[in-house]
Amino acid sequence: MHIPVMLNECLEALVTNPKGIYVDGTLGNGGHAAEVLNRLEVGGALIGFDRDVDALERVKDKLKSGEGKRVELVRDNYANMAERLDQLGIAKVDGLLLDLGVSSFQLDVAERGFSFMRDAPIDMRMDQTRGQTAAELVNTASETELADIIYRYGEDRSSRRIARAIVAARAKMEIATTGQLAGVVERAVGGRKGKKTHPATKTFQALRMAVNDELAGVERVLETMVHRVVEGGRIVVLTFHSLEDRLVKQFFGRHVPREESLQQGGVRRIYEEPSVKWIWKKPLIATAEEQSENPRSRSAKLRAVEVGV
């Protein structure tokens, strides 16, 4: 089961107008989206996106139009959100929610190849219908490319050693499964050395982020949608690792007005249009209680802004 992370905190920040139009860019199992729908009144609308075919199938019965509320479910990358809203005749929305990363379903289904806990072909595509699989990447990328991916997206200082080991292993036999890859990484770094997390964790995260071009997607949806949220509307983003959180923090940081003193006296406000205001100065983290009930929430950071103030 996928338990929605910081459900109440997300919804309190997001829904300010029960008759408004709200977009959930990452439907997953529809936990957050169902609660958005619940808080809407007649005239309200929920537009949900996910690039995963299985996710859409799972939520379509849970999230239906009715009782005067409109529901539209779109299978696409959230990077294309603005174009897809155009097609639906929606110019502006009242709020956008993004719950980044993988869902528990994606991790739990062995064939999706996201997890080394279950041995299966290394796929890792969130959209199973297109693009390069992680196995293709692992078996064809150059040693430098692999090292760069593992360093950049996994922030793993053993990236060169791991990339060298992958290239040596695949020269003998194609690396086809998650178990094989995890074994290669583990041997490359000299075993687990008493660490709590598996030494392949960062490599798997890095490959997943590369295969799905995750950071570019987040950047694109923020850049386009910040112009499509009404004044007073909200953008709420849950991140699960430092790279995503940094991107979100820096993106909104550029839109938060700061005052610069002028030589001739007075001040001027500098910011990228439209201006935004942080709802909380620091990101929220899950309560101790939630963290003990849902381990996935332990790495979550929640940031939210109000647009145009």
Binding site for ligand SAM (CB under 6 A): 2, 4, 26, 28-32, 49-52, 55, 77-79, 99, 101, 103, 126, 217
Among residues 74 and 188, whose Cβ is nearest to ligand SAM?
A: 74
DSSP 194: T
Among residues 79 and 307, whose Cβ is nearest to ligand SAM?
A: 79
Query: Minimal CB distance to ligand SAM: which residue?
Result: 28
- Between the alpha carbon of residue 45 and those of residues 17, 36, 61, 215, 275, the distances in Å are 11, 9, 16, 28, 25
Element (H, E) at 82: helix 81-87
Among residues 4 and 95, whose Cβ is nearest to ligand SAM?
A: 4
What is the per-residue DSSP string for 31-73? Answer: HHHHHHHHH--TT-EEEEEES-HHHHHHHTTTS--BTTBEEEE
Q: Give least dist CB 272 to ligand SAM, A.
A: 23
C-alpha atoms less than 13 angstroms from C-alpha of 18 in its C-beta half-sphere: 7
Q: Give least dist CB 127 to ligand SAM, A.
A: 8
Report the distance separating Cα 148 and Cα 153, nearest Å: 8
Q: Give least dist CB 26 to ligand SAM, A.
A: 3
Among residues 126 and 279, whose Cβ is nearest to ligand SAM?
A: 126
Among residues 2 and 303, whose Cβ is nearest to ligand SAM?
A: 2
Q: SS3 for 98-126, per residue?
A: EECCCCHHHHHCHHHCCCCCCCCECCCCC
Q: Give least dist CB 297 to ligand SAM, A.
A: 11
Cβ 146 vs Cβ 166: under 8 Å: yes
Q: Give least dist CB 220 to ligand SAM, A.
A: 9
Among residues 105 and 278, whose Cβ is nearest to ligand SAM?
A: 105
Q: Give least dist CB 62 to ligand SAM, A.
A: 10
